[in-house]
Copies of this chain bind each other. A is one copy, B any other.
Amino acid sequence: MTGASCSDTCRHTQNVEKVRSGMLSEREFLFLAELFKAFGDYTRARILFALSMHELCVCALAEVLDMSQSAISHQLRLLRAAKLVRYRKEGKNVFYALDDDHVRNLILQGLDHVREQG
């Protein structure tokens, strides 16, 4: 960490000040990073997209993704922590769904970007 100002040739001082004063709190950036990190995994992306179609119980997710129940459950734990999914118990099953439309929108907006650039 050297925050070295690129001396005199680079006249950007005003922009630096403007941007610096517009920055958010450490806490907000940490939350933001955690949010996106939760999306940023192949398996979790598939889980979230699957749930964007229909609520599913754990073993159903395991079937859809063709993965072990344990692997799915570990990922769901992270998604719960990130508040991206909610769940309800029904007998021996636990059904997961996206927490709100914000989550769905983020996925869909991400897909838009992928389809344009990919």
Q: B-contacting residues of A (Cβ < 8 Å)? A: 1-6, 9-10, 12, 15-16, 18-20, 22-24, 27-42, 44-46, 49-50, 53-54, 56-57, 59-60, 62-64, 66-69, 71, 83, 91-93, 102-103, 105-107, 109-118
Task: A46 to B2: give the CA distance in the assembly, Å.
Answer: 17
Given contact pairs A19-B50, A36-B40, A102-B113, a sample of 15 additional A-B residue pairs in the complex whose CB atoms are under 8 Å apart: A4-B63, A5-B59, A5-B63, A6-B57, A15-B54, A16-B60, A16-B63, A20-B64, A23-B50, A33-B40, A33-B42, A35-B110, A37-B37, A37-B40, A83-B117
- What chain B residues lie within 8 Å of A107 (beta carbons)? 32
Chain B residues with CB under 8 Å of A16's CB are 56, 60, 63-64
Q: How far is the CA of A50 from the CA of B22 in the complex (A)?
A: 8
With A10-B93, A110-B36 known as contacts, the answer to whether A49 contacts B29 (CB < 8 A) is yes
Are A35 and B102 also in contact (CB < 8 A) when A5-B63, A10-B57 are?
A: no
